[in-house]
Every structure is written in C-alpha cells, then in structure tokens.
Structure 1
Amino acid sequence: MNRTARLYALVEELRAAVPRSLTVAVLAARFEVHTRTVQRDLQALMEAGVPVRSTPGRGGGWSIDPAMSLPPIRFTAAEASALAVALAAADASAPYAGAARTAAQKLAASLTGPASVAAQELAARIVTLPSPTDSMLRAAVDAAVEQALTTNTVLRLSYIDAAGRESDRVVEPAGLLTANGRWYLVAWCRTRRAGRGFRLDRIAAAASTGEQAQPHDLTELLLGSAAAGAVQPTALAALAPVPEKRKAPPR
C-alpha cells in the first residue's frame, strides 16, 4: 500500500472506530508498518487539516472528529445476518479479502439494536477451515491482482495450468469470475493473443508492469468459453453504474 492510500485508509479506520480512539501500535499492526510511520502519517493528516487528535494517558490514543463519521446504518436483523455470511465467505483466498476485513469492522461499528445482536450471534456460529497455503506469497499475488484491476494496469504472471505446467504470461485484466467456489482473473492474454481465465490459486507469482492496459469488455472475453453464460450477481446490481441515456439524433 502506498502512502496516499494508507493516509486515506487511516482516516477510514479512525472513522470506523468513532467514538473510540485507537493507539499507534494498533494502527501500525493494522497496516503492517512501523509505529514511526504511523506517527508521521497522523502528523501529515493534522497538517493537511484533517480533524484527527490524540488523547494522552492510559486508555488514550488517536481519534477523529465525530462529525466526520458516518451515521449508523439501519440494517434489519435479516440484512445484518446476510452481510455476516457474505463477509465470512470472503476468506483469505477471495479477492479483496483484506478490504473485506476492514468492511466487517465498519459494519460492526455501524450496527445497533437487534441487527447488532443478530449479526453477533450468527458470526459466533460460523467457522472456516483455512487452506494450507503460503499466506505471505498468496497475499503478494492477491495484492498485485487487486491493484491491477483497480488501476487497469498490465500484469506479468507466472501461471500453473491444470496439468502442472508453468508458463509466463503478460495479461490485461478485465474482471473477476467466481464459479464453484473458485475465483478467476479474466484477462486478455498477450502471450496467447486471446481472452483467458486464470484461476487465482494457480497464479504462482504476479507483478505489475506499470503499463496502462487497454480496456476490454468482460462479456466479450468470455464468449465461446465455458463461462459464456456468466451474469452479474444480483446482490451487486445496486452497485452497477447506471447506463447513460442515448440522446436522440437531431431531426
């Protein structure tokens, strides 16, 4: 995570904790940086006019003006339970798993009343069996893929196919596909000069080239493949951009 992204994330972390304060040690552990780095970042936020403040002494820490916090979201008990299950499904092998964890923290901070009780009770009854993978290597690959999708940049992959053969690929990311519990990066493969799906757990290494990728239509890349009938999950329909209305041609 670069410094600009970390500064923004620090503000969001403090907002999610309102009215509590967070210590520098907790923030450093959250972002996996040294405490001195967090201190410098918090000082930079103060100098930029962001209303962060420190409370000295036992039980003190850093907080942000409550006016910058979001109002409580009025979830029903059923909605809160559904979100708890969805967040639980975003395990370490899922894309944006780290962001899902921070989203869960913000969700917990926003819940009140019966919704909070329902989510807590359900969360206590959900367990997972972690996959025996190299977590540090997996985290590096996932971070590279997520960054490439967010910034639309070209990726260089080391990929292992179903037969165990490893190959180097240069790809232009188009989107993500989930099927049968697996996640795939759908991209235009420059090496094969065609659209391809790369199973995330088979990507042995990934690194950004820094080059801006050409835009590719996800649906078009899936044409002719086993995933040609893939559709957007209904739960994400509300997040989809509203298509622009075409202007009528002049008469």
Structure 2
Amino acid sequence: MNRTDRLYALVEELRAVSPRPRSARWLAQRFEVSARTIERDIAALQASGVPIWAEPGRTGGYVVDRAHTLPPVNLTAGEAVAMAVALHRLGGTPFAAAAGAALRKLVAVMPAADVAEAHRLAGRVHLIDRGPATPVPAAVADAVAARRVLRLRYADRSGADSSRDVEPLGYLGNSRHWYLLAWCRLRDELRCFRTDRIRSVHPLAEVVTRELDPADLDIPDRVISRLSLV
C-alpha cells in the first residue's frame, strides 16, 4: 500500500470506529508499518486539516471527528444496490475482490438509515448465475423501491395483454431476463412477470405490506444467490 492509499485508509479506519480511539501500535499492525510511520502519517493528516486528536492514557489513541469529516461520496440505497448488482457480474474475474472492497468502502461512509434501506432492498434481489444485463423499466424499479402497488398491462407468451394489480416484492434475474416478483391479485398468488413483457406501469397510492418468503420461490439454495453489500 502506498502512502496516499494508507492516508485515506487511516481516515476511514478512524471514521469507522469513532468515537473510540485507535492506538498507533494497533494502526501500525493493521497497515504493516512502524508506529513511527503512523505518527508521521497522523501528523500529515492533521496538518492538512483533518480533525484528528490524540486521547492520552492506557486505552487512548487517535480519534477522528466524524461530524467534521465528510465522506467522499453519498450513495442512495438504490445506487448501492445497483453497484452490488453490477459487481455481482464480475464474479470469477480478476477484479471481483477489488470490486467488493470498493463497495464496502462506499457503504461504510453512507448514513446508517441509508445502509439499512440498502440492505432491505438488496434482500429483495435474487439472482441465478450472474444475472441478466437487460434493463428493468424505471417505473417498475421505482415502485419496488417505494413499495407501491402497481397496475400492469402485461403480455403473456402468446402476446395477449391483460391488466393486473400486483404487489411488487422483489426481483429474480437469470442469465437472460429480469422478472418482477409480485403478488398477483388477479390470480391470488405469487407470480413472476418478465419485465420485457410489461407494456405499461401505473403506480397506485396503496403501500405494499406483504413480504416475500424466499421459500416461496421454490428454487434450490445452491442455484440462487442473493446480493450482499458487505
């Protein structure tokens, strides 16, 4: 790790545990450098305006003021899950580990409420293989995130249209298509709607309270994977 990367990582490490302190010895072991190097790095950060101070005593160490160290980016819950879906497709490539580390860094600086919402949304995405590259209609994605009942005009495999009021519960993606997992009020059961067959979408005012039980998918755990933000 070069010095620039280490300085950034030092701030993020202190932010992650704030207001608890980290000792120079602990940080030195974490970054595999000497305690003297850590002390020089901290001095450089302080000189550049980063609000780090030292707490004396046996259990003391360095502390950063979270309120005055703004994160470099501020992702929404939807943006974080979008990144997780994209990074899932990197599985098996030389960049898979680096991509996962990048996502964890971004999630670490998100507000706690947004992290909780991102985990909730990620839990509603189920993938077979690496998932598809085909798009999902924006109105569908917005309604799933907002937990709104949808009125769909949907074409079956023969091309015949029907109108359905559905409660969106999540997504299922395989190597070719995205499917909207939703409770169909017409059929009174869980149905998978292929998103490229959705002709029109009209969000209703009603809020979805039903939750998806993964067991209802009737897909073996060895086949299906779920998104992770950590």
Same fold (TM over 0.5): no
Instruction: Kindly name which structure, 1 or 2, has the bigger radius of gyration based on alpha carbons.
Output: 2
> Which TM-score applies when normalising by structure 1?
0.38
> Which TM-score applies when normalising by structure 2?
0.41
Greater RCO (Cα-Cα under 8 Å, separation 6 or more): 2
